Structure 1
């Protein structure tokens, strides 16, 4: 069953933005929203995450979790999702070093 999908993609190559606009609406610069089947969403995310280059991307879609959604990231970023007893929290990296799970 199709579900709402949100992808934020910053500093990605033009061909990645083009691929995203084939399936999703670019509602503001770098923010894409649409309704996709799980298969299309997974294939699109695989293509985006493999060609992200120096950019960053975040995928959010509904799932059967306590929060009601799942969050996935790709690329170099300062914010890292971490799992805390089934909840996704965001750890912020101030110095550019890899974040060890502090929990």
Structure 2
């Protein structure tokens, strides 16, 4: 039975976006919503996950569990779903320590001027 599916993407290749719009509507850039059968949803997700490139994607669909939905992710994201006794929770990975962009200086708010 077809069910509502939501797919959010970030920085995915254009051909992936084109494939998604064949099956779903795109109400805002990178957000796709549609009513898909389980088979179509799984096939579409396999294509997205295999060709994600440097981007990321999150798929939400109804599931027979306590929350009533399942979360699938592909690509590098700071937020990662984890299973906590049958509940999907979101864990934040720490940001990588990187140098500030050129032209900016980190200012210590406690330092005297």
Shared fold per TM-score greater than 0.5:
yes
The within-5 A match list for 1:31-46 is: 31-46=31-46
Corresponding residue of 1:101: none
Alignment of 1:9 with 2:31, yes or no, is no
Query: Unaligned stretches of 5+ in structure 2?
Result: 98-113
Give the TM-score normalised by structure 2: 0.84
Between the two proteins, the alignment pairs up a number of residues equal to 97
CA distance in 1, matches of 2:92, 2:71: 15
Q: How far, CA to CA, are the matches of 1:43 and 1:23 in structure 2?
A: 11
How far did 1:95 drift?
A: 2.4
The Cα shift of 1:77 comes to 0.7
Q: How does 1:9-28 map to 2 (within 5 A)?
A: 9-28=9-28
What is aligned with 1:80? 80
Residue 47 of structure 2 aligns with which residue?
47
Give 1 or 2 for the bigger CA radius of gyration. 2
Q: Aligned-pair distance for 1:96?
A: 3.9
- Within a 5 Å distance, the mapping from 1:56-67 to structure 2 comes to 56-67=56-67
* Distance in structure 2 (CA, Å) of the matches to 1:27 and 1:94: 31
